[in-house]
Amino acid sequence: MTIRNIQDEILRLKKATNTAVLVHSYQNRDIVEIADFVGDSYKLSVDAKNVNADNILFCGVHFMAETAKILAPQKRVFLANHLAGCPMAEQMDAELIRQIKNSEPDRAVVAYVNTTAKLKAVCDVCVTSSSAVKIVKAMENDKILFIPDCNLGGFVQKNVPEKDIKLLQGGCPVHSSVTVDDLKYAKKLHPEALVLVHPECIPDVTAMADYAGSTSGIMDFAKNSDCREFIIGTEISIVEHLMFECPDKKFYPLSQKIVCRDMKLTSIMDVYNSLNGIENGEAFEIIMSDEEINASKKCIDEMIRLGG
Ligand code: 13P
Ligand code: SF4
């Protein structure tokens, strides 16, 4: 079978099983092509809430499918590859956060959406990289604990200097692997290019960029800019998507290291096999109790209320 045949079969199975396929922008092109919804974490959370289908098949990492289940509990939600997890989502201990909350009750806990449901349950509001600055600004609280990504948290600190924002040591191993030397080298190779980075990169790298923003922020900036060349400081698939969507512009990866192995675990065959397995129990379903859903839902609802 060719990829095209598999894609055609996927389109048929989506209809037959009444399944919407939600795809994070870090997925490969062949998966993006069969998606009902494509986007960054924030957009996909809103899409999951509004989707009109019995089932959701998520192509991304575990916390994203879990967030979709929390927002659409009446739907069955599946993750295309059950091994795809985000290492950052597991970095903080819910008990430690509970202790900090008890010792500083006036400090609101803001959780990056890249967290487990268990951790979300002890947080006050969730944010994504595209909504973090806006939401922290809009919150009534002046004292914030931002978890788990201290690089995104530092970016928020810089953009919301009027608030007291405390950080803990955590972050994305993929984006934080990029060094200032990597950036200097990329600029030396492409001196005319603008540098666009994700705020999960270390502060010294973000400070040297022409623009720092979420995955969709980076894509929109590149599409709308009059500049013709860009160095892209986020997951390498974004370079490929931009090349495809803007064939008249040039895109270069900031570093070949920015490859998220977890995001890349999902293949087009996983999508096909998952759709085939929905009816016979072979697809990987996100199962959560009502108690777990209710405990973690408040901070995601708050994210959509403040970020919308
Ligand atoms: P976005 O919020 O930009 O989708 O980022 C998700 C992610 O996992 C970044 O590493
Ligand atoms: Fe997690 Fe980083 Fe991969 Fe995003 S790129 S899913 S934050 S490890």
- pLDDT block averages, 10 residues each, the chain of length 308: 95 97 96 96 89 97 95 96 96 94 95 94 94 94 97 97 97 98 98 98 97 94 98 97 97 97 98 96 97 95 85
For residue 61, the Cα-to-chain-centroid distance in whole angstroms is 9
Per-residue tokens: 250? 């040039």
Per-residue tokens: 6? 């598999």
The answer to whether the CB of 172 is under 6 A from ligand 1 is yes
Which atom of ligand 1 has the smallest separation from the CA of 41? Answer: 4
pLDDT at 304: 86
Which residue's CA is the closest to the ligand 2 atom numbered 6? 86
pLDDT at 189: 98
244's CB contacts (< 8 A; 6+ apart) are 29
Contact 79, 270 (CB under 8 A): no
The answer to whether the CB of 172 is under 6 A from ligand 2 is yes
Residues written for the chain: 308
Contact 258, 175 (CB under 8 A): yes
Centre of ligand 1 to C-alpha 142, Å, is 26
Q: Which of 33, 4, 24, 85 is nearest to 238 (CA)?
A: 24
Residue type, 278: I
Centre of ligand 1 to C-alpha 258, Å, is 13
Which residue's CA is the closest to the ligand 1 atom numbered 6? 41
Which atom of ligand 1 has the smallest separation from the CA of 114? Answer: 8
The answer to whether the CB of 174 is under 6 A from ligand 2 is yes
pLDDT at 203: 96
